Chains A and B, each alone.
Chain A
Amino acid sequence: MRVLIVDDSSVMRKIVTRGLRQAGFKIDDILEAGDGQQGLATQGKDKCDLILSDWNMPNMDGLTFVKELRKTGDKTPIVMVTTEGGEAKVAEAIKSGANGHIKKPFTPDTLRATLGQFFK
């Protein structure tokens, strides 16, 4: 299982990585990208099985990243990791092709509950 973390904050990428490890998921490799454009390039080159993406990023935000990736026909599950969890925003992400949503701060339990389905 390969996971791609798309976030402009290196600290947040470390937090997500640590959370995934603490949640006990069996992960072979974790790749990182600093924005949506890098995320598209990374996924195009080294296809991952699950993508966790921030919402607000420079160059290409998370929502545009989801839309652009889906345009390529890539059906890899994408879970948004955001600080704002309003229902309208979550609905917009799901409508655009995201498969779930995690709100910061999160615990390993939250990650297990939300991401467990993608590790089966």
Chain B
Amino acid sequence: MNSGDIRQTLLETLRQVILRILETESWKQVTCDPIQRLPAFQLTQEVCGIVQIHGVRRGIVAVTASRRTTAAIISAVTGSEVREMIDEDILDGIAELANMVCGNMKTYANIGGITLTPPMAILGGSFVAQWKTEHPVHQLTFRGRDHTLIVLASV
């Protein structure tokens, strides 16, 4: 596979595994917008879970959402009340979601020779963070009935 084929495989696998994870874990009738190309890998949402890809293919994937959406996802899968959720729950939840997304992407894309870093999580009321990336940046936007989850990928 050439570089473009690997990118397409990883992006399409990401789309499929996130749809499956969201449907399994919490959301019903989730849809994905057409994949968009972005000028930079820039995080602006309140909650972000980030995993880096190392090995024969390097890259970065970020799962991002509002605190409200993240809390709703965690509440749906754990049974915890949204109002009882503390920052540590939000950070742990988005990190685990990013870990699950990228682990499934690695398994089903079956590219071989890549490893994943442990997830990093960010929670903040107002920030902009930007990474310099080796590959083009794409955005996958997933919409549930009341929530939106955005995934950035440079793969």
Contacts and interface: CB of A to CB of B under 8 A. Distances in A.
B79 A82 contact: no
A83 B99 contact: yes
Contacts of B21: 105
Interface stretch (A9-17, A35-43, A63-71): A9-17
Say which size band chain A's interface belongs to.
10 to 19
B130 interface: no
Given A14-B77, A84-B107, A105-B21, 4 more contacts: A11-B78, A83-B103, A103-B107, A107-B24
B152 interface: no
Given A83-B99, A105-B21, A107-B24, A11 B92 contact: yes
Nearest to B80: A14
B106 interface: yes
A10 B89 contact: yes
B137 interface: no
A10 B95 CA distance: 11
B96 to A, nearest CB: 5
18 contacts: A9-B92, A9-B95, A10-B89, A10-B92, A11-B74, A14-B77, A15-B78, A83-B99, A84-B104, A84-B107, A85-B107, A104-B103, A104-B104, A105-B21, A105-B24, A105-B25, A105-B100, A107-B24
B103 A14 contact: no
Given A84-B106, A84-B107, A105-B100, A11 B89 contact: yes
A99 interface: no
Nearest to B22: A105
A86 interface: yes
Nearest to B101: A83
A76 interface: no
Interface in B8-63: 20-21, 24-25
A105 B80 CA distance: 18
Interface in B75-121: 77-80, 88-89, 92-93, 95-96, 99-100, 102-104, 106-107, 116, 118
